[in-house]
Amino acid sequence: MSLDVAAIRRDFPIFAAQPPPFHYLDSAATAQICRPAAEALLRFETEARANVKRGVYRLADAATRAFEEARARVARLLGGVDPREVVFTSGTTLGLNLAAHTLAPRLGPGRRVLVSVLEHHSNLVPWQLVCARTGAELVPIPATGDGRLDQAALEARLDRRTAVVAVTHASNVTGAVTDVARVAAATRAVGAVLVVDGAQRIPHGPVDVRALGCDLYAFSGHKMFGATGAGVLWGRGELLAELPPFLGGGEMIARVTFAASRFADPPHRFEAGTPPIGPVLALGAAAAWMTALDWEAVQAHERALTRRLLDGLAALPEVRVLGPADPEARIGVVAFTLEPHHPHDVCQLLDVRGVCTRGGHHCAQPLMAHFGVEASVRASLALYNDETDVDALLEGLAFVRSQLG
């Protein structure tokens, strides 16, 4: 069955709200919110607001139950994991910082953290900070020429000194998808912990984290059709049980005396303070909305669009695409340069045509250095895009060339 994109678009209020032409090709930065998520957020804030985990009156109890139902919905999206393995955060960045801080006791001189050069800064800088603090060594895993993780180089660097391996599931620059199962097998063989940044992969279909074999998996609600402000760190139950708290405060304790505190079990141990309740409920609604989709049809649709985009770009002599040419090896996140023009000029002129793209280093400066460029234009696709969006971008690039020479 082919995907009914018109029906999908009706689930996104933005498309009725924005005057045409409107071609949203920046979903890698933030995806649009789906109606069930927007409604969950508004309903909670206006009709059902109470703090969670504390109150005994009915309104508070309902809020707590809705919050835990959101956790169960996310658990289903992740392959039916135990909901106690789902930690709510404010987003990928917090999830990865939580991982780095709580794994710090396993680091020290003689220990190593392997981080790929594909990473968004949020899966690199926390490891730099924790290595500087503990004396562990930060070791880069290089990329292949077309911007994929170099699996052989990773395996050559893995040994018993390795405490942590941190990789992205899909690059926010090249769209390249990492073979996480293979990385996980190699990581497990040396007894290290595998941390995966799933921010870009999760909007492109449910992820069975147990089957992948990773230990920690972080993502953001706003990139998977939820609201801004909430995200998830999934953790293997056995590992979460061993990790110390990250932030201290209310809700993460079992018992507090002035002398000492005993901490709550996961996931609450890692959820200090009032969580972003509305955004978490929106995330849960988005997860349920995603779970109900026909992902074979969605992925076929996205692959066809990615191919159309890559073929269109390949036909433009001044364009250099960063990343794999094969649409099977990547998601629809496509960064490119249009020589000799600055990406910001290109994006501004595309905006005249109603085409929303992003220009810059995409918070992945080591990867940009790998390609020998300072910045690039990035077009990123989601399930609500169609051929008209891709064609508007390609025609827009012809317009840019006519304007800039």
Q: Is residue 93 a contact residue for ligand PMP (CB under 6 A)?
A: yes
- Of the pair 92, 116, the CB lying nearest ligand PMP is at 92
Please say if 363 is a catalytic residue: yes
Taking CB under 6 A as the rule, does residue 91 contact ligand PMP?
yes
Report CA-CA distances (Å) from 305 to 18, 291, 321, 327: 22, 22, 16, 9
H, E, C per residue of 259-297: CCEEECCCCHHHCCCCCCHHHHHHHHHHHHHHHCCCHHH
- CB closer to ligand PMP, 199 vs 287: 199
Does 97 sit near ligand PMP (CB under 6 A)?
no
Compute the least distance from the CB of residue 374 to ligand PMP, in Å.
Answer: 18
Does 172 bind ligand PMP (CB under 6 A)? Our answer is yes
Burial (CB < 10 A; 0-12, 13-18, 19+), residue 257, is exposed
Q: Does 376 bind ligand PMP (CB under 6 A)?
A: no
Helix (H, G, I), strand (E, B) or coil at 361: coil
Q: Is 89 in the site for ligand PMP (CB under 6 A)?
A: no
197 lies in the binding site for ligand PMP (CB under 6 A)? yes
Q: Which amino acid is at 186?
A: A
Q: How many residues bind ligand PMP (CB under 6 A)?
A: 15
Single out the residue of 122, 134, 162, 306 in contact with ligand PMP (rule: CB under 6 A): 122
Question: In Å, how far are 15, 22, 41, 144, 343 from 19, measured between CA atoms?
Answer: 8, 7, 24, 42, 25
113 binds ligand PMP (CB under 6 A): no
Rounded least distance, CB 227 to ligand PMP, Å: 11
Q: Which of 97, 178, 220, 385 binds ligand PMP (CB under 6 A)?
A: 220
Structural tokens at position 223 = 């990139």
* Helix 58-77, helix 277-291: angle, nearest 10: 40
Closest-CA residue to 104 (of 193, 187, 196): 193
CB neighbour class for 378 (10 Å; exposed up to 12, middle 13-18, buried from 19): buried
Minimal distance, residue 319 CB to ligand PMP, in Å: 22
Under the phi-then-psi rule, with left for phi > 0, alpha for psi from -120 to 50, and beta for the rest, what region is 205? left
CB of 232 to ligand PMP, least distance (A): 11
Task: Determine if 168 is a binding residue for ligand PMP (CB under 6 A).
Answer: yes
φ, ψ of residue 319 to 5 degrees: the values are: -90, 135
User: Taking the complex as a whole, how short is the minimal distance between the CB of residue 99 and ligand PMP, in angstroms?
Assistant: 12
Q: Is 120 in the site for ligand PMP (CB under 6 A)?
A: yes
- Burial grade of 243 (CB within 10 A; 0-12, 13-18, 19 or more): buried
18 token code pair? 């924005």
- Is 306 a binding residue for ligand PMP by CB under 6 A? The answer is no
**What is the per-residue binding string for ligand PMP in 29-58, x denoting contact by CB under 6 A?**
x-----------------------------
Q: Which of 34, 214, 347, 363 is catalytic?
A: 363
**Catalytic residue positions?**
363
Binding site for ligand PMP (CB under 6 A): 28-29, 91-93, 120, 122-123, 168, 172, 197, 199-200, 220, 363
